[in-house]
Structure 1
Amino acid sequence: MQRREFLEFIALSAASAVLASRPYHAVIAQEQPITKKIPSTGAALPVIGMGTWITFNVGTSEKLRSSRTDITREFFHRGGGLIDSSPMYGSSEAVVGHALSNLNFPKTLFSATKVWTSSEKEGREQIQESRKLWKVNVFDLLQVHNLEGWEGHLRTLFKMKEKGELRYVGVTTSHGRRHDEVEKIMRQQPLDFIQITYNMRDRAVEGRLLGLAQDRGIAVIANRPLDGGDLTRRLEGKPLPSWARDVDCQNWAQFLLKWVVSHPAITCAIPATSKIEHMRENMGASRGRMPDAAVREKMIKHLASL
């Protein structure tokens, strides 16, 4: 062995010894978050994002806004990117803007909000208001919320994208609604994103919509990945199976989220939380090993057995 190779071997051995002596969760936390490519551009997006429905609708309370800023700080500290909101979510957009301005708009931010009105003209006005609330000039993604007035709004959004005023265009639905219409739009419109409900309990989009998204090169955001928290509450107090460690799951939130984002068609999941400890758990799902198809099936069977 050459002297240089010997020194490199010693350095690697020392590094391995340090890693072995550190807690398992600390090693995982240092890894870079897993990303997936947005099909229309190839840009990378961390697989765990942040939703703001209910959790960020806290009005003007300084205490609650400060708490949401802390949660947002933790999100970015752990490698977060996509934040999703909507004018439908009360004060959430304003609270997001407050948090981002206090954090000097982290470089990894992927800003995603929605248009939620039946009027095309009101939609354009709503976008301007969202810009003011978020304090951003150009959104990464604008989505037609629950397909409300989608024909007119898509005209607006595609024009904005053409002018460089917007990076990506999408549509959303939730709770298994209007899948036929979503499919029709996916086939007819050059969408960059769709947002749908997908979790271990609600799998209605498998096959048809997720398969079509792959065929059409459309990114998919999974909303309600924890089924509004119902799944984690149902599993509270139950032990994780020992084999969950094989895919680096330390808690049920990571078990549930890794199942969602390991689907080949899913680009990003957007769990929402108002607690920092839950944010840490959620973001842990963006690191470590991911389940393959066989393990995903094993996870489903285990959940059904509980």
Structure 2
Amino acid sequence: MLTRAQFLRASAAAIAGGTPVATAFTEGSSTMLTRPIPSSGIPLPVVGVGTWRGFDVGADAAARAQRADVLRALFDAGGRVIDSSPMYGSSEDVAGALLTQLQAHDRAFVATKVWTEGREAGIAQMEASIRKLQHPRIELMQIHNLVDWRTHLDTLRAWKHERRIGHLGITHYRDDAHAALESVIRAEAVDSVQLNYSIDDRASEARLLPLAADRGVAVLVNLPFGGGGLLQRVQGTPLPAWASELGCRSWAQVLLKYVIAHPSVTCVIPGTSRPEHMRENAAAGAGILPDAGLRRRMVAAFE
């Protein structure tokens, strides 16, 4: 097990040599694996949380208290990444208020998005996100679903230079957008790409994931459960014997470990509104990951 300082030195050496890193450092009781953002070397724990639907609870005090427990579970497990968007209803407001309540802004790596057309509209939307998230700096600002990406990319570069954001990225959630994501990654310098990837949606393995590694682009994975469909398919089905080889106690952990095991993946961001599910998801980011042979067996089990 590495200390944070040792991990950062190892990450820097790996980045210089063009080698992906996946390891763990000790911070309290956390043993969650981390991988560095190639452009900055900042290590990200491999499991975060998405706020779509789950954090869109408005002013409901009881619901907010439960989401605060989700964030506590994330941090207790060594996680940091919280992903949101202006299109997620009240999710930015809720996440920002809870981070302030928990005094956890410095522990979090907050990612959100710009999702509108036009330079001025984009700036206004991002400034609103900063207010809602209650912190003057966003660690990762992403162009949601590539909406008016050329316009917003110029703004994001300026904001990164001014240190208003730490990193800039692009996102999409559908296979038919992969060619567009690939085109942007080949043509432009971006720090991250967020894309759909799961054991039954492996289209990104062919070109996008290798390209991200070649271009030094971090990968955030949305829809690791296929939008929830995968968990419904396996509900009530006993875990296969090989799940114990990975220390998996649930299908959710099996599905997450498949995604995390791809060396191009930096962080997976499953959404949840329940702290027990956050703890379960986070546990998939620790311990043994499947090798190539076991990943093939995992795919066969689903097919």
TM-score (norm 2): 0.89
Are the counterparts in 1 of residues 105 and 135 from structure 2 also a CA contact under 8 Å? no
Are the counterparts in 2 of residues 76 and 106 from structure 1 also a CA contact under 8 Å? no
1-structure distance, mates of 2:36, 2:295: 21
Aligned to 1:14: none
Are the counterparts in 1 of residues 30 and 76 from structure 2 also a CA contact under 8 Å? no
Q: Is 1:157 equivalent to 2:156 in the alignment?
A: yes
Q: Is 1:240 equivalent to 2:239 in the alignment?
A: yes
2-structure distance, mates of 1:230, 1:98: 31
Which runs of structure 2 are paired with 1:158-197 in the superposition (5 Å)? 158-197=157-196
1-structure distance, mates of 2:118, 2:98: 30
Are the counterparts in 1 of residues 210 and 264 from structure 2 also a CA contact under 8 Å? yes
Shift of the alpha carbon at 1:65? 1.2
Q: Is 1:253 equivalent to 2:252 in the alignment?
A: yes
Single out whichever of 39-48 and 100-109 deviates more from structure 2: 100-109
Aligned to 1:114: 113
Aligned to 1:268: 267
Are the counterparts in 1 of residues 55 and 91 from structure 2 also a CA contact under 8 Å? yes
Are the counterparts in 2 of residues 65 and 98 from structure 1 also a CA contact under 8 Å? no
Q: Deviations over 1:100-158 (max 9, x none)?
A: 11110253311100000012111101111111111011111000000001001000001
2-structure distance, mates of 1:107, 1:131: 15
Q: C-alpha root-mean-square deviation of aligned residues, in Å?
A: 1.3
Shift of the alpha carbon at 1:67? 1.4
- Secondary structure in 2 matching 1:174: coil
2-structure distance, mates of 1:171, 1:50: 18
- Equivalent residue letter for 1:96: A
- Secondary structure in 2 matching 1:205: helix
Which runs of structure 2 are paired with 1:57-96 in the superposition (5 Å)? 57-96=56-95
Single out whichever of 31-40 and 47-56 deviates more from structure 2: 31-40
Aligned to 2:23: none
Single out whichever of 151-160 and 60-69 deviates more from structure 2: 60-69
Are the counterparts in 1 of residues 30 and 77 from structure 2 also a CA contact under 8 Å? no
- Secondary structure in 1 matching 2:220: strand
Are the counterparts in 2 of residues 69 and 98 from structure 1 also a CA contact under 8 Å? no
- Equivalent residue letter for 1:179: H
- Equivalent residue letter for 1:270: I
Are the counterparts in 2 of residues 31 and 288 from structure 1 also a CA contact under 8 Å? no
2-structure distance, mates of 1:182, 1:86: 18
The share of aligned pairs that are identical, in percent, is 44
2-structure distance, mates of 1:123, 1:43: 27
Aligned to 2:10: none
Are the counterparts in 2 of residues 87 and 114 from structure 1 also a CA contact under 8 Å? yes
1-structure distance, mates of 2:42, 2:291: 23
Q: Could you say which structure has the larger radius of gyration?
A: 1
Are the counterparts in 1 of residues 97 and 133 from structure 2 also a CA contact under 8 Å? yes
The change in CA–CA distance for 1:106 and 1:162 in structure 2 (over 3 A counts) is closer
- Which structure 1 residue ranges, 4+ long, deviate > 3 Å from structure 2? none
2-structure distance, mates of 1:259, 1:30: 24
1-structure distance, mates of 2:151, 2:213: 26
- Secondary structure in 1 matching 2:87: helix
Q: Deviations over 1:6-38 (max 9, x none)?
A: xxxxxxxxxxxxxxxxxxxxxxx9551100111
1-structure distance, mates of 2:94, 2:162: 28
- Secondary structure in 1 matching 2:203: coil
Q: Is 1:126 equivalent to 2:117 in the alignment?
A: no
2-structure distance, mates of 1:165, 1:272: 26
- Equivalent residue letter for 1:271: P
Single out whichever of 138-147 and 202-211 deviates more from structure 2: 202-211
Structure 1 stretches of 5 or more lacking a match?
1-28
1-structure distance, mates of 2:290, 2:210: 19
Single out whichever of 30-39 and 113-122 deviates more from structure 2: 30-39
Aligned to 1:25: none
Shift of the alpha carbon at 1:165? 1.6
Q: Deviations over 1:62-86 (max 9, x none)?
A: 1111111111111111111110000
